[in-house]
Amino acid sequence: MPVGESNYISFLKIIYRGKIRLVPYLTPMKAKLIVHGGAWNIPESLEAAHLAGVRRAAQEAGALLAQGASALDTVEAAVNILEADSTFDAGRGAFLNERGEIELDAMIMDGRDLRFGAVAAVQNILHPVSLARRVMAHTEHCFLVGGGAQDFARKAGIAEVDPRELLTERERVYYEQIRHDPDFHTRLPFDDHPMDTVGAVALDGAGNLAAATSTGGTPRKLAGRVGDSPVVGAGAYADNHCGAVSATGWGESILKVLLSKTVCDLMATHSASEAARQGIERLARRVNGLGGVIGIDRHGEYAFAYNTPKMAFAYLRAPGEVVVSIKR
């Protein structure tokens, strides 16, 4: 049975004065990691790249976790890998807004004490999730946006990159296709272009949970638009008392139901998989929303669910063993 926040009770059989006795002792929690590369209608031509990307993030960040890294360090490392991969809509490869600019959002949360850091509408930064962590660790604030976040990034020593380092030819061409299309809107679940927010959830050997999410938002969004990804309880949530979750999908709908917090709350009374299923069902039923979630509950059970055609994700089944999936 689970005990406290970080250990399980096991029993050692011993013989004492001729009698068999069961002596309880605490065993460490097994470390867990799950990552996602977005829930949308990922074209078949891009499936292999998505699977390779989430596999690499799970393998490399999972190796750090196995070496004793904290859950917080692990989710940051996993998301950094995905932000640098031009396959996904986060960091390099992000969508362009209505002005033809890249604006990035991210958050990271520590389940030990509910601290979190978030940034929104930042530009020219490859790893916005690392900037979000600096906000959490080095300021008295939780959330910085726009110019203020850019100023803080410079003071924190986070280098800006040339915007051309973040822009891919794929996104430039797509932007030119949709920039003047009067029928384009952000809720296009069967469009042939994926919406690839990235995220990670980890449980470390000490029983601590953490979650992180990073995104470039939606194509042709209004300048300054902020979706669910950097909003606590919507794009991610982590609480050692119940679980941790990262969400992906149509941000406006996810915000309305605070999807990540909803699933975490359900984990207190349901299995992790059932909590995720009910969270996605609520997203669809209450706000006609589209998206997916990954998570880990306080007992170390994985959760993943989505109502989009596909969601790219990967998780550690055993040390060095990664399971990947993209469709049911």
Below-70 pLDDT ranges, the chain = 1-18, 21-28, 186-195
197, 215, 218, 262: the catalytic one is: 197
CB atoms within 10 A of CB 99: 13
Instruction: Compute the distance between CA of residue 279 and CA of residue 259 in angstroms, rounded to an integer.
Output: 6
Which amino acid, 240?
A: N
Instruction: Compute the distance between CA of residue 25 and CA of residue 7 in angstroms, rounded to an integer.
Output: 9
Name the token pair of 10.
Answer: 């096991």
Instruction: Compute the distance between CA of residue 201 and CA of residue 298 in angstroms, rounded to an integer.
Output: 12
pLDDT digit string, tens, across residues 96-128: 999 999 999 999 999 999 999 999 999 999 999
Give pLDDT, residue 193: 54
Q: Judge whether 197 counts as a catalytic residue.
A: yes
Alpha carbons within 13 angstroms on the beta-carbon side of residue 196 total: 32
Q: Where are the CATH 3.60.20.30 domain residues in the chain? A: 31-325
Looking at the whole model, is its pTM more than 0.75? yes
Instruction: Compute the distance between CA of residue 221 and CA of residue 186 in angstroms, rounded to an integer.
Output: 8
Question: Which are the contacts of 323, defined by CB distance < 8 A and separation ≥ 6?
Answer: 314, 315, 316, 317
Give pLDDT, residue 190: 38
| Whether the Cβ atoms of residue 313 and residue 325 lie closer than 8 Å to each other | yes
Q: What is the CA radius of gyration of the chain?
A: 20
**Chain centroid offset of residue 107 CA:** 9
Q: Containing H/E element for 326?
A: none
CATH number of this structure's domain 31-325, picked from the four choices 3.30.70.260, 3.30.70.2500, 3.30.930.10, 3.60.20.30: 3.60.20.30
H/E/C letters for each residue in 181-218? CCCCCCCCCCCCCCCCCEEEEEECCCCCEEEEEEECCC
| Whether the Cβ atoms of residue 93 and residue 170 lie closer than 8 Å to each other | yes
